[in-house]
Structure 1
């Protein structure tokens, strides 16, 4: 992988803010010709700096949803059991993010569900049925004060 120069970082910052920019618009914003800009974006994608481009949907437009942070405490610290848990997490669409963490808690999950009934079904299916889950603690978000996806590149 090549080291990122100032222009590469600028391209990544611009695309993190709006990936719908045309190549011509992006080139103008970063001070390159369109062919040179396209070549850099292609290289950044091939090298894995750009993993995918997505649309961020406004959850409040889709009706009521519950956003939760769930702390999961495992019974045993065993690599294979953790991997099995992660595999089940990856197959669960209601879980938007999963972090294996250090300290008292083993995993932190970010969950989005329509209502408490849907969350209860998720718990039955995933947490209560997993023999290695000792306990979990659910924190329900009252409101989202900040949500960013961009990574600082300075």
Structure 2
């Protein structure tokens, strides 16, 4: 998707929505110096243009019984499009995979995986890696503490 031309007011609105997407247009308008109607028009344009991709509830994993986070580097046997696409689809279809990145360097993919515990992660590794003949190697890091977790993009002006 090509970049959308955004002005300082769009950035200000987006910063506030990234903090809390439930903030009403009147409140945002008062903070950025626009009417509520102008804010609503801009938000509608930002949604239509795909700048605002989704609006979701961010859950506390421990509050819903998901106690462990794993960061997994995956090295594929071959870097061919069909192999990469198959692994992408597998990662997209697995609810334990919170994030999946195709990367440069020693690994081909970096996964962020959320599980209730080690036995659930063991089952995940069996289905994602051991049953996939195209996975050469994977390395897992267990997250000890979630120091900073966010999805907000840096929209600083200038």
Q: Distance in 1 between matches of 2:6 and 2:12?
A: 10
Q: Distance in 2 between matches of 1:143 and 1:152?
A: 23
Superposition map of 1:49-68 within 5 A = 49-63=51-65, 65-68=67-70
* Partner residue, 1:41: 43
Aligned length: 154
* Partner residue, 1:15: 17
Superposition map of 1:80-91 within 5 A = 80-91=82-93
* Partner residue, 2:133: 131
Task: State the secondary structure of the residue aligned to 2:136.
Answer: strand
Q: Distance in 2 between matches of 1:67 and 1:10?
A: 32
Unmatched tracts of structure 1, length 5 or more = none
TM-score by length of structure 1 reads 0.96
Instruction: Encode CA deviations 1:55-112: one digit per residue, 9 max, x unaligned.
Output: 1111232235110000101111111110000001000000000011111111100000
Task: State the secondary structure of the residue aligned to 2:125.
Answer: helix
Structure 1 residue 2: deviation in Å? 4.8
Give runs of ≥4 in structure 1 deviating > 4 Å.
none
Q: Distance in 1 between matches of 2:60 and 2:5?
A: 35
Instruction: Encode CA deviations 1:96-139: one digit per residue, 9 max, x unaligned.
Output: 00011111111100000001111111111111111110010110
Task: State the secondary structure of the residue aligned to 1:143.
Answer: coil
* Partner residue, 1:79: 81
- Shift of the 99–2 alpha-carbon distance from structure 1 to 2, 3 Å rule, reads closer
